[in-house]
Amino acid sequence: MSAQLSTQLATLGMHWAGDNLDDIIALATKHRWGPVELLAHVAEQEARERARRSMERRRARAKLGRFGLMADFDWAWPTRIDRPAVESALKLDFLTERRNLVLVAPQGLGKTMIAQNIAHQAVVEGHTALFTTASQLLLDLGAQDSPRALDRRLKHYARASLLVVDEVGYLSYDARNADLLFQVVSRRYEEKSLVLTTNLPFGDWATIFPNAACATALIDRIVHHADLISIEGKSYRRRTAEEAKKAKAKK
């Protein structure tokens, strides 16, 4: 009887109750719960479980991968960083206002880590997020073999509440790729937020899209309604590598 009831609960979508039926019955018996108390307990636990599963699904779809937490971020290492602006971004102030966020920094100063933490915070607070690099995004869009397939992928990148495009500026792209990125930005323009990380100031973006007629329009749509955070200093990863090398030499 218990096994049959467990299966029926799972069929109804009450997976937590189905998986924990014996414990629920034992707890209700121990505390002498009435029907209302029993149903209240089941409803509360089901809601918690569904919220947990929903967050796990959003996190999986965000494709964040492994990343360091901001609690481990060395704020003292960069020679210049606007900590209040970063902390405001982590509170998602820009997201509620449908603004963009651009993190500009040389390699190894934590801009990707910050962007990943922002996306993770969005997931925790119930938003949908998607993290990708510029090269992955453009490779995906460029591989579509028909206008209809391309439109489906563009809708995919336009759908998430927050889109993070990492590493813009590390590679150069042709006019076709510039047009594809412009389409992504345009579909999100003034509708949903974009976080973009780059190692180049906008004045140097001509080197990213050297032959693209839409480069200026692309930048305009990104920076309009955008918060810009610049980070300066030497590579933290290089410092870590040098410290590890010195420690190894001492041994």
Average pLDDT over residues 147-154: 96
User: Which pTM does this prediction carry?
Assistant: 0.81
- Tell whether 97 and 185 lie within a shared domain: yes
Structural domains of the chain, count? 2
> Is residue 225's pLDDT more than 80?
yes
Confidence of residue 247 (pLDDT cuts 50, 70, 90): low
DSSP per-residue string spanning the chain:
-HHHHHHHHHHTT-HHHHHTHHHHHHHHHHHT--HHHHHHHHHHHHHHHHHHHHHHHHHHHHT--S---GGG--TTSSSB--HHHHHHHHTTHHHHTT-EEEEE--TTSSHHHHHHHHHHHHHHTT--EEEEEHHHHHHHHHT--SHHHHHHHHHHHHHSSEEEEEEETSS---HHHHHHHHHHHHHHTTTSEEEEEESS-GGGGGGTSTT-TTHHHHHHHHHTTEEEEE-BSS-HHHHHHHHHHHHHHH-
**Final residue belonging to a domain, choices 60, 90, 105:** 60
Interval 69-96: pLDDT, tens: 999 999 999 999 999 999 999 999 899 8
- Tell whether 12 and 76 lie within a shared domain: no
CATH classification at residue 192: 3.40.50.300
* Domain enclosing residue 53, as ranges: 2-60
Confidence of residue 102 (pLDDT cuts 50, 70, 90): very high
Q: Looking at residue 25, what is its pLDDT?
A: 83
- Tell whether 101 and 179 lie within a shared domain: yes
Cα-flanking dihedrals φ and ψ of residue 101, to 5°?
-135, 130
Q: Looking at residue 241, what is its pLDDT?
A: 58
Average pLDDT over residues 132-155: 95
In a domain, 248, yes or no: no
